[in-house]
Chains A and B, each alone.
Chain A
Amino acid sequence: MKRILCLLLAALFCIGAFCSCDINQKPVTLEDSIPIPEDGIISASIFEKIKSENKVVTFYATSGDVRYEWTVFGSDIEHPADKNLAVEIFGETDSAVSFRLLSEEALGFSPVLSLYLTDVWNAQSATVYQKSNAGLSPVCSASVTGSKTSVLNFSVTETGSFTVLADDGEETTAAVETAPESTADVPVQSDPYLSEGTQSSGRILSDGKQSGQDQYKTDPVPAGKPLPVEPEDQNIDEKQTYTCTFSIECSSILNNLSDLVPEKLDVLPKNGVIFSAETVTFYEGESVFDVLQRICQENNIHMEASWTPIYNSAYVEGIHNLYEFDCGSGSGWMYRVNGWYPNYGCSRYQLSQGDTVEWRYTCDLGADIGGAYAINPE
C-alpha cells in the first residue's frame, strides 16, 4: 500500500514539475469591443489592463461611412501610454481608399487596422502606400476579405497619411506566362481544342467543355484553368526545380474574433499572417499539398491533414493549430493559385513555374475570401 502511495505521489510531482514550466502563463482572452471616443484618445490605463490580463481587444469607430477596427493584442503592448486611435478615411473608390492616422506619433506597436469598406473591391490583394512629399512609397500589403463589401486588413507602424490601392490582377498573370528556362525538356501534351495547350510543367488547361463530375466528384473546371492531375500518377523529380510564391494567412479570423474558439486566441498570429509571401523552390511533379507540407515542416509550422479517398486528395484540417470549424461552422482552410480557388483538392493541383499559392482561412465557406464558387458553383 505504501509503495503504491509513494509511486503515485512521485508521478504527481513529476507531472507537476513538468507542467509548471509554462502553464502559469495567462491564456489569451477576448474582451468585448470598445468604441473609440470622439477625440480618439484611449487612455494608458486601458492599455495597461489589456497588457496585464493578456487580452485581445478590438477598438472600433466610423469615419464617414467606413467603419474601422483596431485589433490590439495585450502581449504586443510594451509601454502602455495614452494613444490616439482615430482614423480619418476619405476618397473611397472601388480600387483605392485613403486614410490619415490622427495620432501625432507612431503607436509603438503594430495592431491590425481593418477598414470595412462600402464597396466591393474586385482585387486579390492590395498594397498600402505612405504619402509623403516625395510621393507614394509602398509600406505593406493588405489582405482583401469580406463577403458583401470588402474588408482591408493591414498593420502600419508609422503614422501619417496613407493610400491603399488594389493590386493589379494583371501582374500575377504575367508572371505565370513568362516562360521559365525549364520548358524545353518537358514533353508537350497538347489538347487539340486549345491553342495554348500546355504550361511550363506540362499541365493541361481546361477547355471548359467537360460536362458532369469526374470520378472524384469534381465539377467541370472553368476554361483556361488547369485540370486536376492524380497524385499517384506523378513522379517527383528533385533534379528539376522551379519556384513559386507561397503564403499562409488567416486575417479573416481577425474580422470574426467573437466566433473564434477562445482557446485558439493563443495561437492566432497578431497580424493574421502565418507565413508571409515568399518565393520558394519546388520540384517537378509536386502538388500544392506537397509544397505546403514541406514548407510547414521546414518552418516548424503545425499542420494536420488527412487523406480523403473519395476526392483523391489530402484535406488540410488545420494549420498553426487553427482548425476547420474553429471560427464558426463555415470556417476552414482554402487555397488560391494565381487568384483562382480550384474546385478540387490540393493534392491534385500540380504547380507550375511562377505560380502564386495562397492558403487562406475562411469563416464563411469561402464567401469572405472571394472563393465561394469553389465550394458551391451556383
Chain B
Amino acid sequence: MQYADAFGSYHPIVNFLYFCLIFAVSMLLQHPVFLLISLFSAIWYYITLKGRKAAGLLLRGILPLLLITVIINPAFSHAGQTRLCYLPTGNPLTLESILYGCAAGIMLSAILLWFACFSEVITSDKFVYLFGRIIPAMSLVLSMTLRFVPRFKAQFDHVREVQAAFGRDTSNGPLLKRIRNAVACFSIVVTWSMENALETADSMKSRGYGTARRTAYSIYRFEERDKTALCFLIFCGLFLLCGGISGNLYWRFFPNIRGTLTQPITVMLEFVYLILCIMPVYIDRREAAFWKKSLQLNS
C-alpha cells in the first residue's frame, strides 16, 4: 500500500485524532506563539509531503491570503488603545487591530495548510474505514464525491486532447471559437459523467448493494507504535486542555494586548505543542534515517 509518508502509515485513528487535535488548537487559540508554531510546522510538514510542488500553494495561495488579511483587518476594525495615526475616514489606525490582522492571517494560513496535509494523509479509503460503520451512507457518498472531482478533471483533459486532435482546439484560435469548443468539451464530459453514474448505480445494484450490511476490506492493524502515538496524543490533548482551562493560554488583542507569555507553565505548554506539531516530520525523518542505516549495514 502506498502511504503519503511514514506518519501516514500509522493507524487511521491515530492520524485522524492527530489532525483533530491540531485543528482544535489552531482554531481555538489566539496566542501568537501557538499560531506561529502551528504555521511553521504546517509549512514544514506540507513541504515534507509534497516536496517541490509545495512552493506553488505556499507562494500563490497562502502568501497573498496572509497579506490580504493583514491589510484588510485594520481598514475595518478600529478598536484598540494604541493609536498610530488617523485614517482618512477619521477613524484611528491602531496597533492592536494590525496585530490582530496578523494573527488572523496566520491562523487562516496555518489551518488551510493543515487541511492540505490532512487530505494527503487521510486518503478516502482511510476515511471510509473510519466512518464506514458510524455513518455508512455518508462516508460512501463522501468518498464517491471526493473521487469524482479528480476523475472529472482527468476525463475533461482526455476529451479536450481528443477534440484538439480533430481541430476543435481550446488553447489556440479566436477567443469566441475557443469558448465554443470548451463548452462542447464540457457538455461531452457532463454527459459522460451522467452515463457513468448510471453505470455505477447498475454495478452497485448487481453486486447487491443495500441487501445486507456492508463490510469493508481493510488491512489496518493497531500496532505497538500506534499505541505509543495514541498515548502521546492523549497526553498532549489533556495537557493543553488543562493549560487552557487554568488560563495559562490566555491572550486577547482588544482593547489592549494582554496575555500569558513568559510564565513557566505557558512556556512548557508551548514546548509540548511544538513537539506535537513536528511529530509527523520527526517520524518521517526517523524512518528515513533508519532506512538509510539499514541500507548501509547491508552493503
Contact = CB atoms under 8 A, between A and B. Distances in A.
Contact of B91 (A1, A24, A304): A304
Interface stretch (B75-83, B202-210, B211-219, B235-243): B75-83
A4 B254 CA distance: 31
A222 interface: no
Interface string B250-272: 00101111110110000000000
B40 A300 contact: no
Interface string A286-307: 0000000100010010111111
B116 to A, nearest CB: 17
B36 A25 contact: no
Given A293-B90, A297-B86, A302-B81, A27 B258 contact: yes
Contact of A300 (B83, B90, B252, B254): B83
A134 interface: no
B91 A305 contact: yes
B62 to A, nearest CB: 13
Contact of A16 (B40, B89, B90, B261): B261
B33 A23 contact: no
A263 interface: yes
Interface in B168-196: none
Contacts of A306: 91
B32 A321 contact: no
Interface string A254-272: 0000000001101100000
Interface residues of B, number: 28
Nearest to A27: B258
Contacts of B258: 23, 25, 27, 266
B83 A20 contact: no
A321 B261 contact: no
A23 B259 contact: yes
B14 to A, nearest CB: 26
A304 B78 contact: yes
A160 interface: no
Interface string A9-28: 00110011001101111010
A186 interface: no
B74 interface: no
B259 A4 contact: no
A321 B79 contact: yes
A12 B33 contact: yes
Nearest to B259: A23
Contacts of B89: 307
Contacts of A194: none
A20 B262 contact: yes
Contacts of A5: 40
Interface residues of A, number: 31
Contacts of A41: none
A5 to B, nearest CB: 8
Given A15-B32, A305-B91, A8 B257 contact: no
Contacts of B257: 19, 22-23
A59 interface: no
Contacts of B91: 303-306
B256 A266 contact: yes
Contacts, number: 69
A321 B80 contact: yes
A266 B83 contact: no
A318 interface: yes
Contacts of B259: 19, 23
B244 to A, nearest CB: 17
A24 B264 CA distance: 13
B79 A318 contact: yes
Nearest to A28: B258
A90 interface: no
A15 B252 CA distance: 15
B92 interface: yes
A267 B33 contact: no
B43 interface: yes
A20 to B, nearest CB: 6
A266 to B, nearest CB: 6
Contacts of A297: 86
A304 B91 CA distance: 5
Given A263-B252, A297-B86, A302 B80 contact: yes
A302 B92 contact: yes
Contacts of B261: 16, 19-20, 23-24
Nearest to B32: A15
Nearest to B78: A304
A266 B79 CA distance: 13
Nearest to A265: B255
A264 B92 contact: no
Given A19-B257, A267-B256, A302 B40 contact: no
A298 B103 CA distance: 31
Nearest to B81: A321
A263 B36 contact: no
B83 A8 contact: no
A306 B81 CA distance: 18
What are the nearest 6 A-B pairs in CB distance? A321-B255, A304-B78, A27-B258, A8-B40, A267-B255, A304-B91
Given A12-B36, A302-B94, 13 more contacts: A4-B43, A11-B36, A19-B32, A19-B261, A264-B255, A267-B81, A267-B256, A293-B90, A302-B81, A303-B92, A321-B79, A321-B255, A323-B79
15 contacts: A1-B44, A5-B40, A8-B36, A11-B36, A16-B261, A20-B261, A263-B254, A263-B255, A267-B256, A302-B80, A302-B83, A304-B79, A306-B91, A307-B89, A321-B254
